[in-house]
Structure 1
Amino acid sequence: MSDSMWQGSGVDLDAYLRRVGYEGDVAADLSTLRRLHTAHVDAIPFDNLDALLGRTAVPLDLANVQEKLVQQGRGGWCLEQVVLMAAVLDRIGFTFTAFAGRTRVRTGSKFGPALHVALLVELDGERWLHDVSFGAFGPHEPIRFAQNARLDSDFSFDLVQEPTGEHVLRFLRPEGPAELYGFTTDVRYPSDFELLNHFCLTHPRSPFNHRVILQRTQAKVRHLLAGTVLTEIRPGEPATFRELDEAEVLSAPEEIFGITLAPDDIQTLRKTLAGP
């Protein structure tokens, strides 16, 4: 099998499929793409904990990403998850490109840095936005990449295009549409991921290196822990918010997000939460 920049030949596909609970055959078709998307977001949470545990790097090579997300059962932030997902899709035989988006939800701005990455998959003359790493607000399956496309299910989404040409993915919530991120289809490469990864890990204005951010996108409920505030989102209902105490924050990775941390990591996280 010839390799590509997405390293499909290096992915342990069987181990990945076990990790996400995917059963049955895989093929480069829409049914597989949908099932992979749903299985991945159900199983693998958004996890920025390495940035808070004194780790000086978050490696993006496939070997390290597989070890963390597949073998250790951890989550990862969007760059790690896209590296893994791209390798899986490449191994199966999908054709796709990567893009970067400017997050709007929770930022209140259309002009922040383009830190979020996701994929556009080409199938039978159409393209599908395949985003497994946006967390609690993200889609549970691919959405057709077309003007005014909609994804209707327990959680619904649409795509709109602004006069500037920028595409916007929106989460259609009972309290009104939430703009998740804006993006163009300019192609991004793994080398671009390295630059974004360095920003996320080290920059003082990074949203990911100074407080806990954990997210999980399950079929009937979505959870987001940002700092000490836990957000819970259920179909057809306004989001609920709850302030957690220190003990609840320390237990949340395993109890809510399915992440098992080593005892030393829990102690380090406790010290980080306590502050200087």
Structure 2
Amino acid sequence: MNDVTDSMWRGSAVDLDAYLTRVGHGGGVAADLSTLRALHTAHVGAIPFDNLDALLGRTAVPLDVDSVQEKIVRQGRGGWCLEQVVLMAAVLDRIGFTFTAFAGRTRIRTGNKFGPALHVALLVELDGERWLHDVSFGAHGLHEPIRLAENARLDGDWSFDLVREPTGEHVLRFLRPEGPAELYGFTTDARYPSDFELLNHFCLTHPRSPFNHRMILQRTRPGVRHLLAGTVLAEIRPGEPTAFRELDDTEALSAPEEIFGITLEPDDIQTLRKTLAGP
């Protein structure tokens, strides 16, 4: 494990045992593909995508490892993409993996290939190959790494592939019965923690941010994936078209805990109730 010198990913700050307990990983860890796959699956199954802090009126979502670890690992909350990547990068750094970060332009639900590159994930180098390791895209995202190669494919209950566009951009696709869904396009230009701070500020404060005006919760579990956007709940099951349901205010308020496993403090529940009620 990487326990001698610190890096920009702050692996030395991670309580690795606490993280492994949080995601339910009971085996050993090493800088190998088996561990990478196991941690990826465990993380997405245990930690939901959660933008609730933005809706609770918090003017900052800190991205330092200590704050992210306190929220996600010790308090048992979820986190949005940038928080989860900060945590995952620190964990991989602590174990001894070699990796870089990149930014992707989300396409699903927008259809826009040229929107801001707000999604961040990791490319892990192992035995001369690179693996796309993305634990924070939520209900449509990968459940284990996929090799970064033209026409790479990940098959199973949830299937994905990677295609390369003439521009050179890679596109990750979720292969659904109703047809492939383009999740995001990306290049492999390296991004750094300082870049995350700028993206975090946009997501939290910009009027065109998709994350600061309605509840967005997502979780992947064996056999079912859930996505709540506002009051519309999407349920995705293997081999079936996505099912949608409109939640009433009571259902929406209880959804964080009952559907996504997020326990909020009583004061936060009251604030969220007022937010859902509107002006």
TM-score (norm 1): 1.00
Partner of 1:171, secondary structure, is strand
Distance in 2, matches of 1:125 and 1:23, equals 28
Q: Which amino acid aligns with 2:170?
A: H
Are the aligned partners of 1:82 and 1:133 in contact in 2 as well (CA < 8 Å)? yes
TM alignment of 1:169-180, pairs within 5 A? 169-180=172-183
Q: In the alignment, which residue of structure 2 is the partner of 1:230?
A: 233
Q: Does residue 1:242 correspond to 2:245, yes or no?
A: yes
Q: Does residue 1:29 correspond to 2:58, yes or no?
A: no
**1:193 pairs with one of 188, 196, 204:** 196
Q: Does residue 1:152 correspond to 2:141, yes or no?
A: no
Distance in 2, matches of 1:67 and 1:241, equals 34
- Deviation per residue, 1:67-90 (Å, 9 max, x gap): 000000000000000000000000
**2:206 pairs with one of 203, 207, 231:** 203
Are the aligned partners of 1:221 and 1:235 in contact in 2 as well (CA < 8 Å)? yes
Distance in 1, matches of 2:135 and 2:222, equals 13
Q: In the alignment, which residue of structure 1 is the partner of 2:215?
A: 212
- Deviation per residue, 1:64-112 (Å, 9 max, x gap): 0000000000000000000000000000000000000000000111010
Q: In the alignment, which residue of structure 2 is the partner of 1:259?
A: 262
Are the aligned partners of 1:46 and 1:77 in contact in 2 as well (CA < 8 Å)? yes
TM-score (norm 2): 0.99
**2:51 pairs with one of 40, 48, 51:** 48
Q: Which amino acid aligns with 2:221?
A: Q
Q: In the alignment, which residue of structure 2 is the partner of 1:77?
A: 80
Distance in 1, matches of 2:148 and 2:221, equals 23
Are the aligned partners of 1:168 and 1:180 in contact in 2 as well (CA < 8 Å)? yes
Partner of 2:235, secondary structure, is strand
Partner of 2:58, secondary structure, is coil
Q: Which amino acid aligns with 2:70?
A: E
Distance in 2, matches of 1:42 and 1:226, equals 19
Distance in 2, matches of 1:202 and 1:51, equals 9
Partner of 1:242, secondary structure, is strand
Deviation at 1:219, TM superposition (A): 1.9
Q: In the alignment, which residue of structure 2 is the partner of 1:59?
A: 62
Are the aligned partners of 1:140 and 1:219 in contact in 2 as well (CA < 8 Å)? no
Q: In the alignment, which residue of structure 2 is the partner of 1:14?
A: 17
Deviation at 1:220, TM superposition (A): 1.0
Q: In the alignment, which residue of structure 2 is the partner of 1:95?
A: 98
Any stretches of 5+ residues in structure 1 without a counterpart?
Answer: none
Q: Does residue 1:271 correspond to 2:279, yes or no?
A: no
Distance in 1, matches of 2:106 and 2:222, equals 23
CA RMSD of aligned residues (A): 0.4
Are the aligned partners of 1:102 and 1:181 in contact in 2 as well (CA < 8 Å)? yes
Q: Which amino acid aligns with 1:63?
A: D
Q: Which amino acid aligns with 1:47?
A: D
TM alignment of 1:126-137, pairs within 5 A? 126-137=129-140
Distance in 2, matches of 1:202 and 1:234, equals 34
**Aligned sequence identity (%):** 87
Q: In the alignment, which residue of structure 2 is the partner of 1:2?
A: 5
Q: Does residue 1:108 correspond to 2:111, yes or no?
A: yes
Are the aligned partners of 1:162 and 1:168 in contact in 2 as well (CA < 8 Å)? yes
Partner of 1:200, secondary structure, is helix
Q: Which amino acid aligns with 1:184?
A: T
Distance in 2, matches of 1:274 and 1:251, equals 14
Any stretches of 5+ residues in structure 2 without a counterpart?
Answer: none
Partner of 1:205, secondary structure, is coil
